[in-house]
Amino acid sequence: MGGEKSFGVALRGLRQRGRLTMEELAEASGVSVRAIGDMERGRSRVPQRRTVVALAEGLGLADAEREALLAAARAARPTRAVAVAGTAVPPRSVGDFTGRGLELARLREAAERARVGVGMSVAVVSGPPGCGKTTLALKAAADLAEEFPDGCFVVDLHGVEGPVDPGEALLKLLKALGVSDRRLSQEDAQGRAGLLRALLGERRCLVVLDNARDEGQVRPLLPAGGRSLVLVTSRRPLTGLEDVDRLALSEMAQAEAVELLRRILGAERADAEAEAVARVAELCGRLPLALRVAGNWLTVRSGWSVDHLVGRLADEERRLGALAAGDVRVEAAFELSYRQLTAQAARMLRLLSLVPGPDMTAAYGAALTATGIFEAEDVMEELVEAGLLQATFTGRYQLHDLLRLFARARLSREEEPGEQEVAEDRLRTWLLDTAAVAGRWYKPGYGAPPSSWQGLVPLETVEQARAWLESEAFAWLAALRSAARRGEHTRVVETADAMEWYYHVSLYWGHWPEVFRLSSEAAAALDDPYLQAVHLNYYSVVLGRCEHRYREGIERADEALECARRAQDASQQGWALVYAVWPHRQLGEVQEGFDKARAAADLFEAVAEYEGWIDAMGMSGGILRDLGRGEEALARHERVIAFLDAPNCPVSGHAAGHFRATATEALGQDCAALGRWREAADHYRNAQVQFNRIGVPHREAEALLALGEALIELGEAEEARSCLRQALAFGDAADGTELKTVQKLLDSLPSE
């Protein structure tokens, strides 16, 4: 194998053979997603041996393949890096520059390294159109001018439209540095580049190469070292350049965006409508170009209120058109980059505007375009290179809000309506199918996906399933809402049903009542009493557990009971009775709860519904404890544990783990009610370990709180403090009321 390209091709081939995405290889090897992508596409220098070894281990290569990959890397590595140089016009000052403190500090550090001749002498500032790259570079040049006594020079390379020839830029820089025409006439292009390198190496100059098109345009203008500093701005990250410092720029922080508007409008006017100014900043996506256009609109139209502009910008279809002042148009900045895309990348950008979330993975692109994951990843990387899509270190991609509006406008203009609908259907189908397969990992009788399932993401373990459901929650919930609006009742019901056990894991996600409201409405639309009973039961549980709407929970359970009776389904009748028990207890209606729990247990036992029987036994045991009958409660919960521990127990998997942990915690509560605090503490410890093992954080926090209370009763304050602090650390994953109790207990303990 020879050449850098061959190494990238080899790496990509091995990754695809192993059916690994870049993100998965990054996780397995410890090498960043971005670095892997750059290597595969030949946009970065070949890595050092230790990096290649890490990649080989992540790929699981045999010795021979590992050595072959190392050999490809050695062959591709150049013996000596080649670098080059420069261009000219004095930097202008930036009067109302705002924010970007961290970025300016990075550039000051680069200037200091250049001053002492240490480190990289080139910094690339990249980012999407309108993010303020040029403004930042000019501000840095103005601030650092005194550090570079031999001159500061700026050249606009016009990279997006009508790019300047590198040779022309080279001549301008050399003339600005005082090289005579006679001397220039004696050198060819290579000689002039060498002359610029020499001059920048000898002198202390700061050069801004603004708006670079690609690596080829700036390579002849870069120094090989010395004490000069070159700042390059580009919409592209220019990943093919070696030995450069990189600074990725995006939108401003909200406070910075508001401050920029204040400076443009004047503090008095801005502060008089502070809320409206903040809203303008949000509607502009905190993009500096858009903020400046909006501010200019208001300064020219002094009779307008800021709130009037908010009204114009609030209309998504008109927002980009409204962000134009004179010859400065936000949409035009996007259009220039869009025109340079390949047809495939332009279509991908248009379709990505359909993604219902703030970020995405390559799988979204694959679903939208009906291509493979690797093909989609390639096209999305082209968008990253064009500065129209941002790649994060987690392997996800982000589309700026204003770029999303731009892409959506192009979608409706350039795609046939039918094509757009087909793409939306593909995305919705993929999201909901994947959510159902992932959710069923927790559901008894399912577990791992069937061998026939071919998905765009790996769901081979329960950990992968949970990670996908959590990371893509916003998107699959949006897809569920869309399916409900479109009357896809069966799909809504099937997706929600798959979540029957998963919701226990993320009880405080915040959207479960909506999920099961939608599914119960879909079941009603299907006019299926059995499905109505099932989904009203689910809805009943989450109303009480998630939102403490106990009376509504009981009402939904009663409705489910009637539907189950119409369907003549004893199992769902039992669940309707069980799901009413806990809200009855919370409302102090103990006898009603006990009667329903006992009736449910009888129903479940008659139809051999073991999960229901366990639940009903546990519920009735809890009520017996409430009634002061602690020994009877203890006996019921011990009976549940014995059932679960039996050699041929019909309940297994996540459900069995959940029931066992719940019953163990209940044993602790029974012992506590009987004043047997040492036994209670032991049961709580055991329950905490079990909840941790099955990954139910809010129940783990609950067990830690109970353990802390038991230890306080035992006079073991230090261990109690440790347990309570662990519970507090769960934060939003735990019940807020319980966390308040934890804090009160901590405050009551003697100081350390």
In the chain, how many H helices and how many E strands?
Answer: 38, 10
Residues whose CB falls within 8 Å of the CB of residue 679, separated by 6 or more in sequence, listed in order: 668, 671
- The domain ranges of the chain are 4-76, 101-248, 254-332, 340-415, 423-509, 679-748
Q: How far is 724 from 701, CA to CA, in rounded Å?
A: 9
Instruction: Please give the pLDDT value at position 689.
Output: 94
Backbone angles phi, psi at 202, to 5 degrees: -85, -30
With H, G, I as helix, E, B as strand and everything else as coil, classify residue 396: coil
Lowest mean pLDDT among 108-122, 229-243, 569-583: 108-122
Beta strand extents in 342-484 (DSSP E only)? 359-360, 390-391, 397-398
- Count the Cβ atoms, other than its own, within 10 Å of residue 693: 12
Angle, alpha carbons 693-695-700 (nearest 5°): 85
Q: How far is 504 from 511, CA to CA, in rounded Å?
A: 13
Residue 394: both structure tokens together: 């987690």
Indicate if the pLDDT at residue 476 is higher than 70.
yes
Of 327, 304, 291, 300, nearest to 96 by C-alpha is 291
Of 239, 209, 244, 238, nearest to 225 by C-alpha is 244
Question: Contact 710/680 with Cβ under 8 angstroms?
Answer: yes
User: Could you say which DSSP state residue 221 is in?
Assistant: B
Which residues does residue 391 pair with via DSSP β-bridges, in sequence order? 397
Indicate if the pLDDT at residue 17 is higher than 50.
yes
Q: How far is 579 from 539, CA to CA, in rounded Å?
A: 10
How buried is residue 35: exposed, middle or buried, by Cβ count under 10 Å (0-12/13-18/19+)?
middle
Average pLDDT over residues 543-558: 93
Question: Contact 682/670 with Cβ under 8 angstroms?
Answer: no
Q: How far is 245 from 390, CA to CA, in rounded Å?
A: 18
pLDDT band at 318 (very low <50, low <70, confident <90, very high): low
Question: Contact 246/223 with Cβ under 8 angstroms?
Answer: no
Query: What is each CA distance from 484 to 421, 476, 669, in whole angstroms?
Result: 16, 12, 42
Beta 397-398 vs 390-391: how paired, if at all? antiparallel
Question: Contact 228/114 with Cβ under 8 angstroms?
Answer: yes
CATH architecture observed for domain 340-415: Orthogonal Bundle (1.10)
Indicate if the pLDDT at residue 3 is higher than 80.
no
Indicate if the pLDDT at residue 2 is higher than 60.
no
Instruction: Please give the pLDDT value at position 150.
Output: 82
Average pLDDT over residues 115-137: 82
Angle, alpha carbons 211-205-215 (nearest 5°): 35
Average pLDDT over residues 57-73: 81
Of 41, 25, 43, 42, nearest to 33 by C-alpha is 25
Residue 550: in which H helix or E strand, if any? helix 550-566
Average pLDDT over residues 228-242: 86
pLDDT band at 65 (very low <50, low <70, confident <90, very high): confident
Q: How far is 197 from 222, CA to CA, in rounded Å?
A: 7
pLDDT band at 324 (very low <50, low <70, confident <90, very high): low
Of 80, 81, 83, nearest to 226 by C-alpha is 83
Angle, alpha carbons 195-200-203 (nearest 5°): 120
Of 388, 386, 395, 387, nearest to 361 by C-alpha is 395
Residue 15: both structure tokens together: 């990754």
Indicate if the pLDDT at residue 744 is higher than 60.
yes
486-525: pLDDT as tens digits: 999 999 999 999 999 898 888 778 899 999 999 999 999 9
> Between 1.10.8.590, 3.40.47.10, 3.40.50.300, 3.30.1780.10, what CATH number should domain 101-248 receive?
3.40.50.300
CATH 1.10.260.40 fits 4-76, yes or no: yes
Instruction: Please give the pLDDT value at position 250.
Output: 82
Residue 669's Cβ-side half-sphere holds a number of Cα atoms within 13 Å equal to: 25
